[in-house]
Every structure is written in C-alpha cells, then in structure tokens.
Amino acid sequence: MRGKKYQEAVKLQDRTKAYPPEEAVALAKQMAHAGFDETVELHLRMGVDPRNASQQVRGVALLPHGLGKKVRVLVFAQGEAEKIATEAGADIVGGDDLVKKIEAGWLEFDTTIATPDMMAKVGRLGKILGRRGLMPNPKSGTVVPAEDLPRVIGDACKGRVEFKLDRTAIIHVPLGKISFDSDKLLANLAALMEAVVKAKPSGAKGQYIKSAYIATTMGCGIELDLRPTLALAAA
C-alpha cells in the first residue's frame, strides 16, 4: 500500500495524458511530497534491441545546472598525471593504493576517471566498479591522457552524467533536484535529450525513442509528450 501523501499526489495527475515538458516539470514539483530534496529522474523507453551490438546506446551529457550535489571525483593516475589531476580539482587521486583500497570494499566516490596506462591495474576492479556504473571507459570519455584530465575533471564537477541502455531497453538518468527552478530542470532535460539523440546507433531501426517519463525519487512517473520534448533537443 502507498502512503496517504503519495495517494493524494497521484490525484493531481491525469494518467491518460502525455504532458509537454513545462507542464510535466510543474506537475512533478506540485506532486513532490517527501521530506527531503528529491532527485528528478528521466526514464526513456528506447526502440532498440539491447541484445544487438549495433544498437547499443551509450553516451554522456553535460548538464548546464548540474545535479545539485557535490560530485566526488576519483582519478586513477600516477607520476605527472597524478599531479595534474590533483591541481585540476580531483577529490581522490592515486594508483595501486586506490586499487587495493577499493578491492577491500571502499567506495566513497561518485565518478571515476583514469589515464590509459592505469587501465591494466584498474581492470581488476571490473566486477566491483562495473556493476555500479563506475568503471572508467574510453567510450564514455573517462579514460583520457593526462593533458585532458583538467577538462574531464571539470566536466565531472559541473554535472557530467553518463547514460546507458539497460537490458530492458530503458535509459535511466538523473536530471537534478526538485528544488531546482523549473527553467534549470528544463535546460538539463534539453541537454540530456540532445545527447541521447546524438548517440543514436547506426543499427537503430524504426522509432528511436518510444516513450519518455520523468519521476521524482518518491513519486510516480509523468509521461512526457515526445514531440515537444524532442523539440527541446533541437532548440
């Protein structure tokens, strides 16, 4: 059974309607009922086959207004690259010591970046970091040479988010906090939609994005009208 606050909030929504982005964000704010600053999430049902290697959807988006929280950036680097990462503002920087620490169960960070020479060692952490979406990967732009570390670390601190198709052909990605002004949530939504559209794989057939919903941490999904939502990306 859902709580009384949830049940009251649901009454505000027409479950048969797909809302334009502006209305959907306003409704999400109106329906938010938790006693904390809920995260607003975007959920996309994609028209691709997650079992087909040529139809994988993966990428990154730089949210103009961030996610509303401090992002703890960990960088696997050594030598001169370690110094560059530290000066660029990374929260945790190291090599073998960090690998051993994570193997022992430490996971107090939000995103990881690595230089190519470290990946042979970081590869040992695949089972630990991979299942949490924290494994550095060249495809997501998180394995970079030392000279690119300042840019990538800066993006991570500002609000860089990764998105990836799951086994059910859905993409789940955070948009920001419900306390954000509506204009900021809409700008973040536009940046995410643009990134997903650009990440369309060559093997995709038919309708690429089948449906889109936004939801808060404790709230129900609000369906987005795809036409104006996709228009945000083209604006």
pLDDT tens-digit readout, 122-143: 999 999 998 888 899 998 889 9
Say yes or no to pLDDT of 3 above 80. no
Q: Give Cα separations from 89 to 58, 73, 150, 211 (angstroms).
A: 26, 8, 8, 38
- The C-alpha atoms of residue 118 and residue 96 are separated, in whole angstroms, by 9
Q: Is the dihedral of CA 23, 25, 26, 29 positive or negative?
A: positive
User: What domains are there in the chain, each with its CATH number?
Assistant: 4-67+160-234 (3.30.190.20), 73-157 (3.40.50.790)
Whether 2 shows a pLDDT value over 90: the answer reads no
Lowest mean pLDDT among 78-92, 97-111, 152-166: 152-166
pLDDT at 9: 79
SS (H, E, C) 44-98: EEECCCCCCHHHCCEEEEECCCCCCCCCCEEEECCCHHHHHHHHCCCCEEECHHH
Predicted confidence band of residue 22 (pLDDT cuts 50, 70, 90)? very high
Q: What's the rounded mean pLDDT across residues 92-109?
A: 95
Averaged over 191-216, what is the pLDDT?
Answer: 95
